[in-house]
Structure 1
Amino acid sequence: MPIHDLTAPAEARTHLPVVIIGAGQAGMSASWHLCKAGIEHVVLERNTRFHAWKNQRWDSFCLVTPNWQCRLPGFPYSGDDPDGFMLKDEIVNYVEAFAESFDAPLREGVTVTRVVRDAAGRIEVDTDDGLWSADHVIVASGGYDRPITPSFAAGLDPSITQLHTRDYTGPDDIPEGRCLVVGTGQSGVQLMEDLHIAGRDVSLAVGPAPRSPRQYRGRDATEWLHAMGYYDITIDQTPDPKATEAKTNHYMSGRDGGHEIDLRRFAKGGLPLYGSVTGVDGTQISFAPDLEKNLDDADKSYVGIREMIDAYIAREGIDAPVEPPFEKVWRPETEITEIDAAQEGITSVLWCIGFRPDYSWLQLDCLDPNGRPVHRRGVCQDPGVYFLGLGWLNTWGSGRFLSVGEDAEHVTGVILARLDQTGRDCRYG
Structure 2
Amino acid sequence: MTVEKIDTLVVGAGQAGIAVSEHLGSLDVPHLVLEKSRIAERWRSERWDSLVANGPAWHDRFPGLTFKEFSADEFVPKEKVADYFVEYAKMINAPIRTGVEVKSVVRNSDRPGFTIETSEGVIEANRVVAATGPFQKPIIPAIIPADESLLQIHSANYRNPEQLPDGAVLVVGAGSSGVQIADELQRSGRQVYLSVGPHDRPPRAYRKRDFVWWLGVLGEWDAEAVKPGAEHVTIAVTGAQGGHTVDFRALGQQGITLVGRTQSFKEGVVTFQPDLVENVNRGDDNYFSYLDAADAYIARNGLDLPEEPDARNRLADPECMLNPILELDLAAAGITTIIWATGFSQDFSWLQVNAFDANGKPAHQRGVSSEPGVYFVGLPWLSRRGSTFIWGVWHDAKHIAGHIATQRTYMAYQESVEP
Q: TM-score w.r.t. structure 2 length?
A: 0.91
Distance in 2 separating the partners of 1:78 and 1:270: 38
Aligned equivalents of 2:282 and 2:237: distance in 1?
Answer: 15
- Selected match of 1:392 from 381, 394, 409: 381
Counterpart contact for 1:284–1:341, Cα < 8 Å: yes
Structure 1 partner of 2:27:
37
How far has the Cα of 1:232 moved from its partner? 3.2
1:102 pairs with one of 92, 96, 100: 92
C-alpha distance in 1, partners of 2:31/2:278? 50
**AA of the residue aligned to 1:329:** A
The alignment status of 1:171 with 2:158, answered yes or no, reads: no
Q: Aligned residue for 2:317?
A: 330
Match of 1:259 among 223, 238, 244: 244
Find the residue that maps to 1:329 and give its secondary structure.
coil
In the TM superposition, residue 103 of structure 1 has moved relative to its aligned partner by 2.0
Change (3 A) 1:222 1:70: closer
Q: 1:72, 1:404 within 8 Å by CA — same for their partners in 2?
A: no
Structure 2 contact 183–251 (Cα < 8 Å) conserved? no
Distance (whole Å) between structure 2 residues aligned to residue 105 and residue 321 of structure 1: 48
1:192 offset after TM fit, Å? 0.5
Offset of residue 261 of structure 1: 1.3
From 238, 262, 270, the counterpart of 2:255 = 270
Q: Aligned match of 1:86 in 47, 60, 76? A: 76
- In the alignment, which of 115, 129, 132 is matched to residue 141 of structure 1? 132
1:63 and 2:53 aligned: yes
Q: Does 1:369 align with 2:376?
A: no
- Aligned-pair identity in percent equals 36
1:150 aligns with one of 123, 138, 141: 141
Match of 1:340 among 329, 335, 349: 329
Paired residues of 1:388 and 1:407 also in contact (CA < 8 A): yes
Q: Which residue of 1 aligns with 2:280?
A: 295
Report if aligned partners of 1:179, 1:347 keep a CA contact under 8 Å in 2.
yes
Hey, what's the Cα distance between the residues in 1 that align with 2:385 and 2:218? 14
Matched, 1:379 2:368: yes
Q: Secondary structure at the match of 1:65?
A: coil
- Counterpart CA distance in 2 for 1:319 and 1:104 is 44
Contact 1:147 1:166 in 2 (8 A): yes
Q: How big is each residue's C-alpha offset from its partner over 1:110-150, in whole Å with a ceiling of 9 and x where there is no partner?
A: 11121111212532222222222111110001122211111
User: Take 2:61 and 2:136, find their aligned partners in 1: how far apart are those partners?
Assistant: 25
**Residues 1:410 and 2:399 aligned together:** yes
Q: Does 1:132 align with 2:132?
A: no
- Distance in 1, matches of 2:158 and 2:164, equals 8
Distance 1:49 1:117 in 2: 27
Structure-2 change in CA distance of 1:32 and 1:269 (3 Å): closer
SS in 2 for 1:14: strand
Structure-1 separation of matches of 2:113 and 2:44: 35
Shift of residue 75, structure 1, vs aligned partner: 2.3
Deviations 1:156-177 (A, max 9, x none): 5431111111111111012111
Please tell me the residue identity of whatever aligns with 1:51: E
TM-score when normalising by structure 1: 0.89
Aligned residues: 406
SS in 2 for 1:342: coil
Partner of residue 3, structure 1: none
* 2:119 counterpart letter in structure 1: D
Output the aligned Cα RMSD. 2.0
Query: Shift of residue 401 of structure 1?
Result: 1.3
Distance 1:349 1:102 in 2: 42
Aligned partner of 2:344 among 335, 339, 355: 355
What residue number does 1:192 align with?
A: 182
| Offset at residue 239 of structure 1 (A) | 5.4
Q: Distance in 2 between matches of 1:77 and 1:376?
A: 32
2:218 is the alignment partner of 1:228: yes
- Report the CA distance between 1:398 and its aligned residue: 1.4
Provide Cα deviations, 1:80-131, integer angstroms capped at 9, x if missing partner.
5111110122212211211120222222121112111121253222222222
Aligned counterpart, 1:202: 192
SS in structure 1 at match of 2:126 = strand
SS of the aligned residue for 2:144 comes to: helix
One-letter amino acid matched to 2:275: D
Evaluate the alpha carbon distance shift between residue 247 and residue 72 of structure 1 in structure 2; reply closer, same or farther with a 3 A threshold.
farther
Unpaired segments of 5 or more residues in structure 2?
413-419
Contact 1:61 1:87 in 2 (8 A): yes
Structure 1 residues 188-197 or 92-101, which shifts more? 92-101
CA–CA distance in structure 2, aligned partners of residues 137 and 73 of structure 1: 25
